Amino acid sequence: MEAFGLLLHGFAVLLTGKTLVLMMIGLVLGIFVGVLPGLGGPNGVAILLPLTFTMDPTSAIVMLSCIYWGALFGGAITSILFNIPGEAWSVATTFDGYPMAQQGRAAEALTAAFTSSFIGSLVAVLLITFLAPMISSFALRFGPPEFFAVYLLTFCSFVGLGREARHKTVISMSLGLLLAGIGMDTVSGQLRMTFGTAELLRGINFLVAVIGLFGISEILLTMEERLALRGHAAHISLRVVLSVWRDLPRYWVTLLRSSFIGCWLGITPGGAIAASFMGYNLAKRFAKEPESFGKGRIEGVFAPETAAHASGTSALLPMLALGIPGSGTAAILLGGLMVWGLNPGPLLFVEHKDFVWGLIASMYLGNVVGLVLVLTTVPVFASILRVPFAAVAPMIVVSCAIGAYAIQNAMFDIWLMLGFGVVGYVFKKIGIPLAPFTLALVLGNRAEDAFRLSMIGSGGDLKVFWSNGLVGSITTLALLLLFWPLIEKLLARAGRPRRARPAPL
Amino acid sequence: MKAACTAAALLVVSPAAAGWEPTKPVEIVVAAGAGGASDQMARMMQAAIQKNNLMKQPMVVSLKGGASGAEALMYMKSSEGDPNKVLIAYSLIYMLPLSAKIPFDWRELTPVSVIALDQFVLWDNAAGPKTVKEFVQAAKAASAPFKMGGTGSKREDHVLTVFLEQKTGAKFSYLPYKSGGEAATQLVGNHTESNVNNPSENLEVWRAGQVRPLCVFDKERISYTSKVTETQSWHDIPTCKEEGLDIQYLMLRAMFLPGKVTSEQQAFYVELFQKVTQTPEYKDYMEKQALKPVFLSGKDMLKFLEEDGQLNKSLMTEAGFVAK
């Protein structure tokens, strides 16, 4: 109950007119940067960071974290309306969100996304409030083998639970892994596949690839098929919102499962991206008719959004308690903390109570205010779809280019983005899924490093992946998921004769 | 009258002599990831400049830690003639071209000033051996690989590990992590037995009583005597030499402009960073993070860089890290 008292103290710190105004400003700015495809949370927060130097730390972090929440809400908008994920973890939201928008159910999809984001963050904030000290010590148990096991789990769940033909998933994933190898190899300190060019030194930025693969290729496809965005007639009223909410209890299992996955992966640094994919895949696996996923099913929006936001929120915990940022945006918030003389670490919770609990309280308030704000503005955003394609398309391309450029201030990235646009177009035409490719591109490097560090640490012994209960169970689960289709068949075969036998008797 | 004239002339002349000033926001380029020692230092300077009004234009920190920092070096190299970018450099400017054959030479940039020297400390887990002697014994006796965490491969931390091996005869498995922060938490979580982090990278976990400093790789002890933890100050950490390990290494923290900038532009930044070193923010930072405050510019700095570059090159050669 100590946590409860501290939380109330946090609210007391927060509930001043000035902080509330800053909160609103932050949220609106955040939604704005979130809506511009490619600009997204990290850039938005980075641009606005210096504005907060003259504020006291608590007001400053409240404003910045509200920009963060706003950008998270805003990111869902572009994923659903334009098939352009703003942050890595919004990729899975496009799978069903975009088809829904095309069927004229944009408002429903947006409401679902916002609501589930809210639920996901809420569960994670509750977790942070009451379990913070325990969880930060749990995160410390992750060494290289544990990290590798988590990445393996994500990859395996894709192959084992994916909806596409498995060989296509593997092809797509392998290509992603190949491209992830470009640049400096941390373990040996050598350059790989850079062909002597300075541009390839830093490797291929994940966001540049995503903007091209999803955004640009979508524009190409739309141009080819029909010169119109197919999501018009997006009528929104309070009734849509209420009807989505009325159906919410039906999906409680999905919501709960995704929240759990999100929180669990969120506190393992860098797990937020994996969480959204895994939330989606598991929802599909346990659904009654998995085939309907990817064709505009509302559960396909609930599952990844809840997981992504649960993990996005709980990712702030390792940042505060250990100084390890879980996402790009968290990394910039980390920089902000240091400017105000707050050093993330185990003592932050003890020495800067006002700040930490003010921040946690702002997560509650920011999310509630943010939800109201985005829901009331859904009609405005969904109406973007009614603007003629000829007018919207160039704007999307331009903002994609700005986004790609802004990530590293490199002209080369714009060419790369266009190149990925063509790749995405070809992949869609020949039916190779894009998601495993992007997943491999973003996690490939980390998985490789984790594997090689485990091998150095164990002297090349693979048994290290079963060396304790934690890593052992994750690895085993990963392998089970990988061979799930086979296991399922075997179980079915083993089950049938047994049931069949009593009949002749 | 004459005096007044001269004074008036001076008044007219002096702004002209100050000459150049940035007209756009200035970018501090960090050749490392978020939260690392370079990032922390850049944030401190950003705040010091802004709070003390040392420059009209704002300063923004841009993290270019890709490719173990090579991204930042190539970025500076390709920004020739752009006076709105300053690199906060450390020994990677000597080491990366040697180990990874990055086409880069610090002489292609414009040196501004050396602003501090950073220490390296040998750390182990608070539950581990209590002295250097016990530590070396434990490393020698270990049957499983004895793990040393560090930042990057074939860099400062790795070089120090190789010298530790040479001096003690113990064998370490070196685990290259992406940042000093990661090396710190991995030591706390007992996934490695030790690391050689800079003071700033391990400060918070030391204060929390999770790691123990064994010795500092310098000729003399760190001068700061105010208590950092409940019982110890930076000064209480013995030097490695006192403990029988004769290894010394100090790392520069220096500012560079891109190549081909004018001398007025260079002069502006020399003055700016000199002012920074006089701010309370800088002094506070030096003490808290146990850095050695120094300020070198012009010929002194060039001489320092040449000597330091030679030293690093010979260390890298001796460790066998120079790519052929």
Only one residue has tokens 């190779």, namely A432
Which residues in chain A have their CB less than 8 angstroms from residue B182's CB?
324
CA distance B123 to A358: 34
- The mean-pLDDT minimum among A371-375, A386-390, B128-132, B237-241 falls in A386-390
Closest C-alpha among B114, B119, B116, B123 to residue B219: B119
Per-residue pLDDT tens for B275-289? Answer: 999 999 999 999 999
* Per-residue pLDDT at A360: 84
Nearest beta carbon to residue B176 from set A53, A187, A322: A187
Q: Regarding predicted confidence, which is higher, A3 or B241?
A: B241
Chain B CA closest to residue A144 = B191
Determine contact, residues A7/A45, Cβ cutoff 8 Å: no
**What are the two backbone dihedrals, phi and then psi, of residue A195, each rounded to the nearest 5 degrees?**
50, 35
* Enclosing H/E stretch for B281: helix B280-288
Q: To the nearest whole angstrom, how far is the Cα of A370 from the nearest Cα of chain B?
A: 28
* Per-residue pLDDT at A250: 87
Take residue B322 and report the two structure tokens written for it. Answer: 């120079």
Per-residue pLDDT tens for A164-222? Answer: 788 898 999 999 999 999 988 888 888 888 888 888 888 888 778 877 887 788 788 87
Residue A33 pLDDT > 80 = no
Report, as an integer, the average pLDDT of A474-497.
Answer: 84
> pLDDT band at residue B15, thresholds of 50, 70 and 90?
very low
Q: Regarding predicted confidence, which is higher, A226 or A448?
A: A448
* Per-residue pLDDT at A60: 81
> Reading across the β-sheet that carries B121-125, which strands appear in turn?
B172-177, B146-151, B194-195, B121-125, B211-216
Q: Are the Cβ atoms of A198 and B103 closer than 8 angstroms?
A: yes
Which residues in chain B have their CB less than 8 angstroms from residue A413's CB?
none
Nearest beta carbon to residue B204 from set A53, A331, A345: A345
Q: Are the Cβ atoms of A456 and B174 closer than 8 angstroms?
A: yes
* Enclosing H/E stretch for A372: helix A353-382
* Per-residue pLDDT at A104: 80
Q: Are the Cβ atoms of A323 and B204 closer than 8 angstroms?
A: yes
Report, as an integer, the average pLDDT of A17-22.
Answer: 84
> pLDDT band at residue A47, thresholds of 50, 70 and 90?
low
Residues 6+ apart with CB under 8 A from A252: none
Q: Are the Cβ atoms of A50 and B189 closer than 8 angstroms?
A: no
CA distance A497 to A89: 44
* Per-residue pLDDT at A226: 63
State chain A's mean pLDDT as an integer.
81
Residue A229 pLDDT > 70 = no
> pLDDT band at residue B83, thresholds of 50, 70 and 90?
very high
Report, as an integer, the average pLDDT of B199-217.
Answer: 93
Closest C-alpha among A10, A7, A8 to residue A354: A10
> pLDDT band at residue A271, thresholds of 50, 70 and 90?
low
Chain B CA closest to residue A201 = B67
CA distance A262 to A30: 22
**B249 SS3 class:** coil
Q: Regarding predicted confidence, which is higher, B15 or A24?
A: A24
Which residues in chain A have their CB less than 8 angstroms from residue B171's CB?
none
**What are the two backbone dihedrals, phi and then psi, of residue B170, each rounded to the nearest 5 degrees?**
-80, 160
Q: Are the Cβ atoms of B205 and A345 closer than 8 angstroms?
A: yes
Per-residue pLDDT tens for A378-389? Answer: 777 767 767 777
Determine contact, residues B240/B220, Cβ cutoff 8 Å: no
* Per-residue pLDDT at A61: 78
Chain B CA closest to residue A205 = B66
Q: Are the Cβ atoms of A338 and B103 closer than 8 angstroms?
A: no
- Please return the burial class of B9, using the count of CB atoms within 10 Å of its CB with bins 0-12, 13-18 and 19+: exposed
Chain B CA closest to residue A349 = B208
Report, as an integer, the average pLDDT of A80-84.
Answer: 81
Which residues in chain A have their CB less than 8 angstroms from residue B40's CB?
338
Residue B214 pLDDT > 90 = yes
Q: Are the Cβ atoms of B173 and A456 closer than 8 angstroms?
A: yes
Which residues in chain A have their CB less than 8 angstroms from residue B279's CB?
none
Q: Regarding predicted confidence, which is higher, B136 or A142?
A: B136
* Per-residue pLDDT at B14: 42
Chain A CA closest to residue B148 = A457
* Per-residue pLDDT at B305: 97
Q: Are the Cβ atoms of A189 and B153 closer than 8 angstroms?
A: yes
ipTM score of the complex? 0.85
* Per-residue pLDDT at A269: 56
Q: How far is CA B82 from CA A188, A254, B24, B85, B298, in A?
A: 33, 53, 11, 7, 20
* Per-residue pLDDT at B222: 95
Best to test chain B binding among A148, A202, A352, A463 (most B CBs inside 10 Å): A202
Only one residue has tokens 């939330």, namely A279
* Per-residue pLDDT at B84: 95
Q: Could you count the other beta carbons within 10 Å of the beta carbon of residue A106? A: 29
Counts for chain B of helices (H) and strands (E), in that order: 11, 11
> pLDDT band at residue A496, thresholds of 50, 70 and 90?
low
Q: To the nearest whole angstrom, how far is the Cα of B7 from the nearest Cα of chain A?
A: 38
Report, as an integer, the average pLDDT of B29-49.
Answer: 87
Q: Are the Cβ atoms of A143 and B191 closer than 8 angstroms?
A: yes
CA distance B266 to A428: 53
Q: Regarding predicted confidence, which is higher, B190 or A395?
A: B190
Q: How far is CA B303 from CA A399, B94, B115, B263, B296, in A?
A: 48, 15, 15, 18, 10
Residue A281 pLDDT > 50 = yes
Report, as an integer, the average pLDDT of B233-246.
Answer: 95
Residue B103 pLDDT > 80 = yes
According to the 3-state scheme, what is the secondary structure of A411-477?
A: HHHHHHHHHHHHHHHHHHHHCCCCHHHHHHHHHHHHHHHHHHHHHHHHCCCHHHHHCCHHHHHHHHH
Q: Regarding predicted confidence, which is higher, A349 or B184?
A: B184
Q: How many CB pairs under 8 A join A and B?
A: 148
CA distance B115 to B297: 9
Chain A CA closest to residue B210 = A346
Which DSSP symbol is given to B213?
E
* pTM of the predicted protein model: 0.81
CB burial readout A8-28, b (16+ within 10 A) else e: eebeebbeeeebeebbbbbbb
* Per-residue pLDDT at B17: 47
Best to test chain A binding among B30, B101, B191, B283 (most A CBs inside 10 Å): B191
Q: Could you count the other beta carbons within 10 Å of the beta carbon of residue A124? A: 27
* Per-residue pLDDT at B237: 96
Q: Are the Cβ atoms of B144 and A459 closer than 8 angstroms?
A: yes
Residue B1 pLDDT > 70 = no
Best to test chain A binding among B82, B185, B229, B288 (most A CBs inside 10 Å): B185
Q: What are the DSSP E strand ranges found in chain B?
A: 26-30, 59-63, 85-89, 110-118, 121-125, 146-151, 172-177, 194-195, 211-216, 251-257, 292-297
* Per-residue pLDDT at A70: 84
Which residues in chain B have their CB less than 8 angstroms from residue A48's CB?
none
State chain B's mean pLDDT as an integer.
90
Q: Are the Cβ atoms of A324 and B144 closer than 8 angstroms?
A: no
Q: To the nearest whole angstrom, how far is the Cα of B51 from the nearest Cα of chain A?
A: 8
CA angle B315, B321, B323 (to 5 degrees): 125
Counts for chain A of helices (H) and strands (E), in that order: 23, 2
Of A38-42, A52-56, A386-390, B268-272, the range with the highest mean pLDDT is B268-272
* Per-residue pLDDT at A290: 77
Q: If you write DSSP's letter for every residue of A38-82 in order, what string do you get? A: TTHHHHHHHHHGGGGTTS-HHHHHHHHHHHHHHHHHHHHHHHHHH
Q: Are the Cβ atoms of A198 and B74 closer than 8 angstroms?
A: yes
Per-residue pLDDT tens for B244-256? Answer: 999 999 999 999 9
Q: To the nearest whole angstrom, how far is the Cα of A322 from the nearest Cα of chain B?
A: 7
Q: Are the Cβ atoms of B78 and A198 closer than 8 angstroms?
A: yes
Closest C-alpha among B238, B201, B203 to residue B217: B238
Q: Regarding predicted confidence, which is higher, A36 or B233?
A: B233
Residue A344 pLDDT > 90 = no
Q: Are the Cβ atoms of B208 and A186 closer than 8 angstroms?
A: no
**How long is chain B?**
324
* Per-residue pLDDT at B23: 92
CB burial readout B42-58, b (16+ within 10 A) else e: bbbbbbbbbeeebbeee
CA distance B212 to A211: 46
CA distance A502 to A497: 9
Residue A17 pLDDT > 50 = yes
CA distance A113 to B190: 40
> pLDDT band at residue A103, thresholds of 50, 70 and 90?
confident
Report, as an integer, the average pLDDT of A418-443.
Answer: 88
Q: To the nearest whole angstrom, how far is the Cα of A334 from the nearest Cα of chain B?
A: 7
Residue A324 pLDDT > 60 = yes
Report, as an integer, the average pLDDT of A95-114.
Answer: 87
Q: How far is CA B41 from CA A265, A430, A472, B30, B310, in A?
A: 31, 50, 40, 9, 25
Take residue B97 and report the two structure tokens written for it. Answer: 């071209």
Determine contact, residues A364/A125, Cβ cutoff 8 Å: yes
* Per-residue pLDDT at A356: 81
Best to test chain A binding among B68, B79, B154, B283 (most A CBs inside 10 Å): B68
Please state the separation of Cα B250 from the chain's center in Å. Answer: 9
Residues 6+ apart with CB under 8 A from B35: A323, A324, A325, A331, A334, A335, A338, A344, B179, B181
Q: What is the percent of chain A where pLDDT is above 90?
A: 12
